[in-house]
Amino acid sequence: MLSHPFKYVLILAAVITVVSYGCTGRRDYNVERKSPSGLYSVKVDVRVEDEPSLMAGFNEWGKIQFFKGQETLDVREWERKDNFESTFIDAHPVIEWLKDNLLYMGSDQSKQPFLDDIVVLNHSSEKLKYLSVSSDKDDELVVFDLPAREEVTLRATLVSEWLSSDGSRKYSLGYGGTSQSGKEFSNAIEFKQAKPRADGPIVFQILINDEDLQKR
């Protein structure tokens, strides 16, 4: 026969086990947004299921589609399991059109003291049908139909920053997309900057030439 204190310990342990392992949750994130003119649209479908474990991980399935009218400009699909990173739902509470051809997906920028500027120069001979710029691992700006020989300035959430071994500040940006003829381009670039963040926004530049466009 178990003593009363030991019996209560076993009961409490059983309750904790049921709560920890038996409470699973599912979240669906279904968003469809049209640009102000209705020409462009984005459709986001994400499903998250929490893992019934003490590690509190999750399984995630996602699909993002970009459209121009009935034309599909890009499709992204993924499936992942994670115990440490945020879900897409938590990392992208904001999905909104900043202009008719400019989409933002990411965190709430209104909480930022200031934003960085990213100047994208399309020096190629083709219109860029689709251009995605990632200023941070969870923040993304998507530009549609950027004409040849033109540029656009994007106001971005503070670009990812870290200190290198020599003490200088480094920043990184990732970008990619497709030209009007179907050629693809992508790159990840690093910048060195002596200006401290406390002095205000920093201006970064992305230059795209014909040499950057590759056939599929």
By DSSP bridging, strand 116-122 and strand 203-208 are parallel
Q: What is the pTM of this model?
A: 0.81
Asked if 105 and 210 sit in the same domain, the reply is yes
- Residues in a beta bridge with 81: 59
- At 141 the three-state DSSP class reads strand
Asked if 118 and 166 sit in the same domain, the reply is yes
| Exposed e or buried b per residue across 106-143, where buried means at least 16 C-beta atoms within 10 angstroms of its C-beta | bbebeeeeebbebebebebebbbbbbbbbbbebbbbbb
Question: Please, which residues have CB within 8 angstroms of residue 106's CB and are 6 or more apart in sequence?
Answer: 91, 92, 94, 136, 138, 139, 140, 157
Q: How confident is the model at residue 7 (pLDDT cuts 50, 70, 90)?
A: very low
Q: Is residue 179 part of a domain?
A: yes
For the stretch 65-109, pLDDT in tens is 999 999 999 999 999 998 888 899 999 999 999 999 999 999 888
Asked if 116 and 65 sit in the same domain, the reply is no
For the stretch 98-112, pLDDT in tens is 999 999 999 888 877
Asked if 205 and 150 sit in the same domain, the reply is yes
CATH number at residue 141: 2.60.40.2890
Domain that holds residue 100: 92-216
The residue ranking higher by pLDDT, 93 or 165, is 93
Asked if 86 and 181 sit in the same domain, the reply is no
Asked if 71 and 171 sit in the same domain, the reply is no
Asked if 127 and 140 sit in the same domain, the reply is yes
What's the mean pLDDT when you consider all of the chain? 83
Asked if 56 and 99 sit in the same domain, the reply is no
For the stretch 108-128, pLDDT in tens is 888 776 788 899 999 999 999
Structural domains of the chain, count = 2
